[in-house]
A and B are shown apart, each in its own frame.
Chain A
Amino acid sequence: QVQLEESGPGLVKASQTLSLTCTVSGGSISSGNYYWSWIRQHPGKDLEWIAYVYSNGNTYYNPSLKSRVTISLDTSKNHFYLKVTAVTAADTAVYYCARGHCPAGSCPNWFDPWGQGTLVTVSS
């Protein structure tokens, strides 16, 4: 079955750029009607959807983060990526990549499966 795994630095300095990679195994990110997404969970446990990238490269961002976030994919590597610029302490969170499903309506719908998550701490 499809599995996802996040990777990237666990510590980023304030004002710098956070870069994460999601490696997808057990299936191709270029097939199927899936919306490859990043979601984060703050230390207070709130979950926040960040962005998705579709297999054709189309992207969509949460308006609250849109000005600082870029999502992209590399189908040859079966990876997708997240960049967040000008990070602050408020960006400290566990970052998850997940496969978004969208049989109908506003995409993505639900998320399944998720990666195990990677903790990113922003230091001053």
Chain B
Amino acid sequence: EIVLTQSPGTLSLSPGERATLSCRASQSVSSSSLAWYQQKPGQAPRLLIYGASNRATGIPDMFSGSGSGTDFTLTISRLEPEDFAVYYCQQYGSSPCTFGQGTKLE
């Protein structure tokens, strides 16, 4: 199965700053089949991005995804206080789908 490695493990930033989160796959992810989720304490993950760069319904354009092959990036252009959470990537190009271990944005 494809192993996803997210970096950094923890990212310390301030409101108003730009966040760049990385997700690297152990082998190429076909057709940019990658999603990003946000998880806040005590809540379920929330879909942000699918198809590597498509925002889910209701997700503001401050969130953007990019990448292909083995390297993917989630960018939050200008951090709001509510954006501090854990972010996970998930690949679905190969079965079984797998998740990264998460990046904590603090």
Contacts and interface: CB of A to CB of B under 8 A. Distances in A.
Interface in B23-75: 30-31, 33, 35, 43-47, 50, 56
Most chain B CB atoms below 10 A, which of A63, A64, A114: A114
A62 B95 CA distance: 8
B78 to A, nearest CB: 24
B88 A106 contact: no
Contacts of B43: 116
Nearest to B31: A105
A110 B101 contact: no
Interface residues of A, number: 26
Contact of A115 (B44, B94, B101): B44
B56 A112 contact: yes
A47 interface: yes
Contact of B33 (A109, A111, A114): A109
Contacts of A98: 44
B90 interface: yes
A106 B102 contact: no
B98 to A, nearest CB: 7
B92 A47 contact: no
A80 to B, nearest CB: 16
A111 B51 CA distance: 12
A63 B95 CA distance: 9
A106 B44 CA distance: 23
Contact of B45 (A63, A104, A105, A114): A114
The 8 closest A-B pairs by CB, nearest first: A114-B44, A47-B99, A112-B47, A110-B35, A110-B50, A109-B92, A62-B96, A106-B95
29 contacts: A45-B86, A45-B102, A46-B99, A47-B99, A62-B96, A64-B96, A96-B44, A98-B44, A101-B50, A104-B31, A105-B31, A105-B92, A105-B93, A106-B92, A106-B93, A106-B95, A106-B97, A107-B92, A108-B97, A110-B47, A110-B50, A111-B35, A111-B47, A111-B90, A112-B47, A112-B56, A114-B45, A114-B46, A115-B44
Interface of A: 45-49, 60, 62-64, 96, 98, 101, 104-117
